[in-house]
Amino acid sequence: MSNEKKVRAYTNIALIKYWGKRDDQLILPTSSSLSLTLDAFYTETSVSFDDSLEKDAFYLNETVQDEAATQKVSRFLNLFREQSGMKAPAIIKSTNYVPTAAGLASSASGMAALAGAANLATGLNLSPQELSIFARQGSGSATRSIYGGFVEWQKGTSSSDSYAVKVDDANWDIGMVVVVVNKKQKELSSREGMKLTVATSPFYQGWIDSTAVDLVNIKNAINDRDFEQIGAITESNGMKMHGTMLGANPPISYWEPDSVLAMQLVRQLRKKGIPCYFTMDAGPNVKVLCRLSDSEKIKTAFLDYFNEDQLIISGPGSDLKEITL
Ligand code: 2P0
């Protein structure tokens, strides 16, 4: 079939976090965020419309998905159907090269790849900026996965100007060591976690105010290629997000003992003269921002406490791309 093309989108890890919506329906964030796209974690997706189907069928990692998961995909595809006039049901095939829902932002690469594949299958020929707006309506973090390198999601004033822009291609000595503390499905989704935080944390306004300052400072540091400054802002912003969550009622914590161990190891490595900085998302895993040229050294130090398969080195990822089968 002519539309059986796959699209690959890489995941991203926020250095300046997105944690809260001002519009739940359109997924408009309370603040702008900034991420690094990673090449080690990605999703590949194809969409083929087929009139002979009764309804959409969604396969993830070659397994047909249940009603709830399929509906989420269908609702997202409907945005493309509305825009293109396409009415037929579709077969959606997705392969996740990401430990799903382990806090490694699988929804980012997942929804970005789906947006790219739907764009191809409908022939809408959307620009990356338009694709970013579509991806956003699937999942906030997916907004940023349209681009490689350092990417800013500008919160905008409405749906039409809340999209991602590339800040820098990160084509220099930078990367991450991802410490997989626990691959299990998390108990509280980001979506629920951020909603509760916005509604109940007395620290929330402080979070918004200081994130705006962090964003300006990190963009200057990226422009200067000042790795230590980028790392220090990243570490501070991530911890502030977790502090804000601790202020929610009931309090939210995604940390596990090994998360704390990993953060301590990063501080020790820094004392020994290896510049590296940690960040954490809505899960127990720790991401260590480092110079790619130091990543093997950092991994070796972590091997005293973690297994080989818990330590994944990644360089910067690229823009969303079409994969020819
Ligand atoms: C981020 N996270 O900026 C933040 C930091 C996790 C912690 O974006 O509700 O799956 O689909 O917009 O994008 C995870 O939240 O949430 C996330 P929805 P999403 O990467």
Q: Is the peptide bond before 275 cis (omega within 30 degrees of 0)?
A: no
178, 190, 255, 287: which to mutate for ligand 1, most atoms within 8 A of CB?
Answer: 190
Is the pLDDT reported for residue 32 higher than 50? yes
In a domain, 322, yes or no: no
Q: How are the residues of the chain apportioned to helix, strand and coil, as percentages rounded to the nearest 5?
A: 40, 25, 35
- Predicted confidence band of residue 309 (pLDDT cuts 50, 70, 90): confident
Is the pLDDT reported for residue 2 higher than 50? no
Question: pLDDT tens, 283-308?
Answer: 999 999 999 999 999 999 999 999 99
10, 37, 75, 141: which to mutate for ligand 1, most atoms within 8 A of CB?
Answer: 141
Read off the CATH number of the domain in which 271 is found: 3.30.70.890
Tokens of 196: 């509760």
Kind and range of the H or E element at 133? helix 128-138
Pocket lining: 17 vs ligand 1, CB cutoff 6 Å: yes
> Looking at the structure, do residues 45 and 160 belong to the same domain, yes or no?
yes
Is the pLDDT reported for residue 316 higher than 60? yes
How many A from CA of 124 to the centre of ligand 1?
Answer: 27
Of the residues 127, 143, 171, which one is the last residue of a structural domain? Answer: 171
> Looking at the structure, do residues 184 and 161 belong to the same domain, yes or no?
no
18, 31, 287: which to mutate for ligand 1, most atoms within 8 A of CB?
Answer: 18
The complex scores an ipTM of 0.98
When divided into structural domains, the chain yields a total of: 2
- Predicted confidence band of residue 185 (pLDDT cuts 50, 70, 90): low
| Measured distance CA(116)–CA(28) in Å, rounded | 20
Question: If you average pLDDT over residues 120-140, what whole number do you get?
Answer: 97
How many A from CA of 17 to the centre of ligand 1?
Answer: 8
By C-alpha distance, which of 286, 266, 108 is closest to 182?
A: 286
Structural domain boundaries, residue 135:
6-171
Structure confidence at residue 106 (pLDDT): 76
Pocket lining: 107 vs ligand 1, CB cutoff 6 Å: yes
Question: pLDDT tens, 49-64?
Answer: 999 999 999 999 999 9
Q: Work out whether strand 286-290 and strand 175-179 pair parallel, antiparallel, or are unpaired.
A: antiparallel
Of the residues 115, 144, 171, which one is the last residue of a structural domain? Answer: 171
**Residue 196 CA from chain centroid, whole number:** 20
> Looking at the structure, do residues 138 and 269 belong to the same domain, yes or no?
no
> Looking at the structure, do residues 210 and 89 belong to the same domain, yes or no?
no
Read off the CATH number of the domain in which 53 is found: 3.30.230.10
Structure confidence at residue 324 (pLDDT): 84
